[in-house]
Amino acid sequence: MAEKSLRTIIIGAGMAGMLAGIKLLERGETDFVIYEKGASAGGTWRENTYPGLACDTPAHSYSYSFALNPEWSAFYAPGTEIKAYFEGIAQRYGLLPYIRFNTEIERCDWRDGRWHVTTKAGDTDSSDILVAASGVLHHPSVPAIPGLEDFERPWFHSARWDHSVPLDGKRIGVIGNGSTGVQIVSALAKRAARLVHFQRSPQWIMPCPDLQYTEAEKQAFRDDPEKIEAVRNGPDAAARKARFTAAIIDMDSPELSEIQEIVEKNLEESIRDPELKEKLRPNYRAACKRMIFSAHYYNAVQEPTVFLENKAIERVEATGIRMKDGTFHELDVLAVATGFDVGKFVRPMKFYGEGGMDLDEFWKKGPRAYYAVTIPHFPNLCLLNGPTGPVGNFSLIDIAEKQWAYFEQLVDLVRSGQAKAVAPTEAALETYEAARNKDAMRTVFASGCSSWYLDANGVPQVWPWSYDHFVEVMRAPDLSDYALVA
């Protein structure tokens, strides 16, 4: 039977959407379009530009497997370099003609065996296949702190950094000490006249090397890509991945105890002042919140310019922040590094599947997808880095590559004419979710802390199994869990 040619619509020109485009081009498919609401590619690396921005996944692992990059300047690459990497990829792989920038998709309707999308401007398009690659950490969460709108000096969310605001010699406030807040404070400690880091809960900090690659090392990577492979998948990387997965999937594992020892030793040995040490000591287990890797944070908080404020905020006033105990911190600029609204995933876009099924309705108990990739009643739809996929300290590029390879096998059924449409059964999703929820409660994420991994019922919305299991199930879809529409 001749192969059917299929049209694909991809939403988002970040890492995952670009990956889908490249993979389509690789197999000679040119009937696709990538809709991107921003003015350039790169997703999270376009939106986040805060001082100190870096990726705490080793740069050689945080690269497409087919586009290794011997030029990374450091073991952990700065955000500017990662953004340039993705822009370079868009050019090099000829993606730009396929991207419609400044075009926001508002709704997607499955009708008459096709996806019909409508842009915010009211334009329409349709396709056989729809790929939602709109990112996970995408909608800034601005805290509901009383008075924030009354602050008369510059303030912004970390993902909306205003680079016109001077920082050197200023009194800077940073609220939040997730991966973002920690990177910002590490970068600004020496530039500020005074920096107040507002910490609601302390964080465990995993020490890591601040390793810059020398020209000789880069040359070695250029000469021999196997050396890059060794960084990505060699014994050290494999041991790191194995230790980390063993630790997160079982809160009683010896691997987690080992990680706990490392972070406690880091706190013990790095912080001199006993009072500061206690302010920084979490009362929950290491890796319960997303593990923070930092070579600099503990030095930064010990700079004479930095004050770690761990009391509760009463309100923001016109010129600073008032604490509940009456202390007032006058500030020239305030950055809120308070994370993202993670429950949204593809929303606020509206999706209507078979029979007009509303995704908001289907997700009323929370976002879910079969093996994080496909959704019952929403045929021929692929989520990349969708709900319940592996998160934490993995390379999301590697995760997206494996999810795409899995979905492509479903598309092949449509392409070859074996099915017109493919979606998982509801029973399959229920079975997956039941097992996932049960095992999620054994992960360290459920060991007693607040984090963006938890849903409204306190169940981690994550992959609760090993990385190897993820690789195994992504190898091929189990077609008995799919409804194929002839």
| Residues near ligand NAP, by CB under 6 A | 54-57, 137, 143, 145, 158, 175-181, 183, 200-201, 290, 337-340, 450, 452
Nearer to ligand NAP, 170 or 290 (CB): 290
Q: Which DSSP letter does residue 146 get? A: T
β 114-119/124-127 pair status? antiparallel
Cβ 269 to ligand NAP shortest distance, Å: 23
Cβ 394 to ligand NAP shortest distance, Å: 10
Nearer to ligand NAP, 1 or 144 (CB): 144
Whether 311 and 318 have beta carbons less than 8 Å apart is answered as no
| Residues in CB range of 235: below 8 A, 6 or more apart | none
Omega within 30 of 0 (cis) for the link into 202: no
Q: Hey, what are 152's tokens?
A: 């008369």
Nearer to ligand NAP, 56 or 398 (CB): 56
Nearer to ligand NAP, 114 or 241 (CB): 241
Nearer to ligand NAP, 346 or 462 (CB): 462
| Residues in CB range of 433: below 8 A, 6 or more apart | 368
| Residues in CB range of 374: below 8 A, 6 or more apart | 381, 382, 383, 407, 410, 422, 423, 424, 482
Cβ 67 to ligand NAP shortest distance, Å: 19
Cβ 454 to ligand NAP shortest distance, Å: 10
Q: Please return the burial class of 319, using the count of CB atoms within 10 Å of its CB with bins 0-12, 13-18 and 19+.
A: middle
What span, in angstroms and rounded, lies between the C-alpha atoms of 174 and 199? Answer: 9
In Å, how far from its chain's centre is CA 88? Answer: 21
Cβ 30 to ligand NAP shortest distance, Å: 33
Cβ 137 to ligand NAP shortest distance, Å: 5
Cβ atoms within 10 Å of 424's Cβ, excluding its own: 25
Closest CA relative to residue 296, chosen from 183, 140, 428? 183
Cβ 311 to ligand NAP shortest distance, Å: 11
Cβ 70 to ligand NAP shortest distance, Å: 21
Nearer to ligand NAP, 96 or 145 (CB): 145
What span, in angstroms and rounded, lies between the C-alpha atoms of 59 and 54? Answer: 10
Ranked by CB distance to ligand NAP, the top (closest) residue is 178
The full DSSP string for 226-260 is HHHHHHHHSHHHHHHHHHHHHHHH-TT-HHHHHHH
Cβ 63 to ligand NAP shortest distance, Å: 14
Cβ 290 to ligand NAP shortest distance, Å: 4
| Residues in CB range of 135: below 8 A, 6 or more apart | 12, 14, 16, 43, 44, 385
Cβ 411 to ligand NAP shortest distance, Å: 29
Nearer to ligand NAP, 77 or 421 (CB): 77
What span, in angstroms and rounded, lies between the C-alpha atoms of 243 and 270? Answer: 24
Nearer to ligand NAP, 127 or 245 (CB): 245
β 114-119/421-424 pair status? unpaired
Nearer to ligand NAP, 127 or 183 (CB): 183
What span, in angstroms and rounded, lies between the C-alpha atoms of 11 and 384? Answer: 10
Across 266-290, b (16+ Cβ under 10 Å) vs e yields: bbeebbeeeebeebbebebbbbbbb
Cβ 57 to ligand NAP shortest distance, Å: 6
Nearer to ligand NAP, 118 or 310 (CB): 310
Nearer to ligand NAP, 176 or 367 (CB): 176
Nearer to ligand NAP, 102 or 450 (CB): 450
Residue with tokens 């990662």: 82
Cβ atoms within 10 Å of 239's Cβ, excluding its own: 10
